[in-house]
């Protein structure tokens, strides 16, 4: 693994940082408060034009073909300014990657360029259900073959970007008699398809500008050509793609944690108590040292996972390690930052309370911290037994 970024990766990082500081940061608080969708969609369109919606996607499909490391560092910079924008970018990239990995040539040519160019503001994953969260193999949404079509019935919850997504990657049971997790298939469902309904939008603790909705399928007919990969092979696809998404969410968490500590550390150099700047007190110096050390360790874990994926090596365990550590470190950093600001940190006059709210979900979505620990320990024990 090369710790130093290449010139191309540095350019992508710098471009993401400049855009985040100039375009995202000035409107992040307003997006959080007002859920200003027009501003969000405008920023997403500009990010697409800069090449950030397909960073690990081949150029022939409209992607940047910059790799996984570039994706990770870009996600971190975008999240330092606006976590709501960053999560959309992360999901868009992963939707493009799953279509690139298992879609037919027609599916790749039809959908990936639309997401990469911004013609589609977003792509979405339809995986989670009320009784199938940490255990997606327990889903009950069904897809029944009917001639040259499949008919989908059921519902999905917590779907990022649902109201403005152009296409959904949806998992459904196609063989009810198969063993658990074996009879699931993966489909591409276009927005506006009859029978696909966008349900209520969740009122969340954080990441307010990113829409999170229920999807409802009521006799939703899709052509047989909407099937991605092989029938009844969808669960394996879901597991593989979730591993890649964990690099994105870990990088997002890192960005939020860095933003919180940067703000709090600057504040400490200005705030005066007991006749001196509070940055002179050892208690705060140790908070700063511990938080930045953990965040740097998170960056290195993310870099390792990203490098392994980019090189075509196994990376599931490393991605889980990186996601687990980075998101929990981000939450600790946000609460340390709030403590450093005292009462001000708890008010909306300062961005720390928003960072803390935005960071909280990162230990839950794309696999909870508890699930990451299961994956890590299972892989370690399997290798020891080999």
Tell me how far the alpha carbon of residue 68 is from its chain's centroid: 13
Q: Is 366 a catalytic residue?
A: yes
Cβ contact 77:16 at 8 Å = yes
Query: Given the DSSP bridges, would you call strands 122-126 and 165-173 parallel, antiparallel or unpaired?
Result: parallel
Residues 6+ away with beta carbon under 8 Å from 276:
none
Distance between CA atoms of residues 105 and 110, nearest Å: 8
Return the HEC string of the chain: CCCCCCHHHHHHHHHHHHHHHHHHHHHHHHHHHHCCHHHHHHHHHHHHHCCCCCCCCCHHHCCCCCCHHHHHHHHHHHHHHCHHHHHHHHHHHHHHHHHHHHCCHHHHHHHHHHHHHCCCCEEEEECCECCECCCHHHCCCEEEEECCEEEEEEEEEEEECHHHEEEEEEEEECCCCCCCCCCEEEEEEECCCCCEEEEEECCCCCCCCCCEEEEEEEEEEEEHHHEECCCCCHHHHHHHHHHHHHHHHHHHHHHHHHHHHHHHHHHHCCCEECCEEHHHCHHHHHHHHHHHHHHHHHHHHHHHHHHHHHCCCCCHHHHHHHHHHHHHHHHHHHHHHHHHHHHHHHCCCCCHHHHHHHHHHHHCCCCCHHHHHHHHHHHHHHHHHC
Catalytic residue among 60, 296, 366, 379: 366
Residues known to be catalytic: 366
């Amino acid at each position: 693994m090369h710790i130093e970024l290449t010139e191309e990766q540095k350019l992508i990082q710098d471009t993401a940082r400049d855009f985040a500081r100039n375009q995202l940061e000035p409107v992040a608080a307003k997006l959080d408060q007002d859920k200003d969708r027009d501003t969000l969609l405008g920023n997403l369109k500009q990010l697409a034009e800069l090449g950030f919606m397909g960073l690990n996607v081949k150029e022939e499909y409209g992607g940047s073909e910059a790799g996984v490391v570039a994706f990770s560092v870009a996600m971190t910079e975008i999240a330092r300014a606006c976590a709501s924008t960053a999560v959309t970018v992360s999901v868009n990239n992963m939707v493009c990657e799953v279509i690139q990995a298992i879609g037919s040539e027609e599916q790749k040519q039809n959908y990936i360029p639309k997401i990469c160019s911004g013609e589609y503001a977003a792509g979405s994953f339809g995986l989670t259900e009320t009784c199938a969260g940490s255990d997606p193999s327990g889903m009950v949404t069904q897809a029944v073959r009917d001639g040259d079509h499949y008919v989908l019935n059921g519902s999905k919850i917590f779907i990022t970007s649902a109201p403005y997504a152009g296409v959904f990657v949806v998992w459904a049971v196609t063989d009810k008699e198969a063993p658990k997790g074996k009879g699931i298939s993966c489909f591409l469902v276009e927005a506006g398809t009859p029978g696909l309904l966008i349900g209520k939008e969740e009122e969340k603790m954080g990441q307010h500008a990113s829409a999170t909705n229920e999807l409802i399928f009521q006799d939703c007919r899709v052509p047989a050509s909407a099937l991605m990969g092989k029938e009844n092979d969808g669960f394996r696809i879901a597991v593989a793609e979730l591993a890649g998404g964990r690099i994105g969410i870990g990088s997002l968490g890192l960005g939020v944690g860095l933003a919180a500590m940067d703000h709090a550390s600057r504040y400490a150099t200005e705030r005066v108590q007991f006749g001196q700047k509070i940055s002179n007190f050892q208690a705060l110096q140790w908070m700063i040292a511990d938080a930045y050390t953990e965040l740097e360790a998170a960056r290195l874990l993310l870099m390792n996972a990203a490098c392994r994926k980019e090189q075509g090596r196994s990376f599931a365990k490393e991605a889980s390690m990186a996601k687990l550590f980075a998101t929990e470190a981000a939450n600790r950093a946000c609460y340390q930052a709030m403590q450093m600001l005292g009462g001000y940190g708890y008010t909306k006059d300062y961005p720390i309370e928003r960072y803390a709210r935005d960071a909280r979900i990162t230990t839950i979505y794309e696999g909870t911290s508890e699930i990451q620990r299961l994956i890590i320990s299972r892989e370690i024990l399997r290798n020891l037994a080999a």
